[in-house]
Structure 1
Amino acid sequence: MSIYVGNIAYNVSQEDIQEVFADYGTVKRVTIPMDRETGRPRGFAFVEMSADAEEDAAIEALDGAEWLGREIRVNKARPREERPRR
């Protein structure tokens, strides 16, 4: 499973996110989706950790926390929904 991290600053790097989440366990992967048209980050990220207990600890500690002047949202990521192609 992975963690959704929302309302992050647009200038945050994968390393910044990894550093914050490393306090709660081993970070396996950080993904910051980019906008297709502008090439800029979309303001959210996904974090995968090595154990569910580590993910739960990170969610508990970081959801609603202020980071870089923003109140971040941290919760379990939902599976991607298939959207009809246009």
Structure 2
Amino acid sequence: MTTIFVGNLSFQTTESEVRNLFERYGRVTTVRLMTERASGSPRGFAFVNMPGMEDAEEAIARLHGNSLGGRSMTVNEARDRDEAKPLGATTGRRSALLDSL
């Protein structure tokens, strides 16, 4: 299973629009349009799950930079949350480099 990050989406973009776009390249198991917890307002990005790695790679290659709803999408393989955080962001502590000075 490959999870794909889709960014820079219009706030009017629907789940079915994203699903239809990615289904051109293979089977899509889930589409999650992310929203603000408190208000439910769209956050402008989504995650798409595709079971086939080759299908996902083709979708990423063909859709990155393409327009949906008048906006140029960012499309790439999603990273784990821990990979996406800067050093020291998870603990709230100073970096080991600063501690050694």
With normalisation by structure 1, the TM-score equals: 0.90
Number of equivalent positions = 85
Aligned residue number for residue 78 of structure 1: 79
Unaligned runs of 5+ in 1: none
Aligned residue number for residue 59 of structure 1: 60
Kindly indicate whether residue 27 of structure 2 is the aligned counterpart of residue 2 of structure 1: no
Aligned residue number for residue 48 of structure 1: 49
More contact order relative to length (CA 8 Å, sep ≥ 6): 1
AA of the residue aligned to 2:81: R
**C-alpha RMSD of matched pairs (Å):** 1.6
With normalisation by structure 2, the TM-score equals: 0.78
Q: Alignment identity in percent?
A: 35
Aligned residue number for residue 14 of structure 2: 13
Shift of 1:84: 5.3
Shift of 1:36: 1.6
Unaligned runs of 5+ in 2: 93-101
Aligned residue number for residue 28 of structure 2: 27
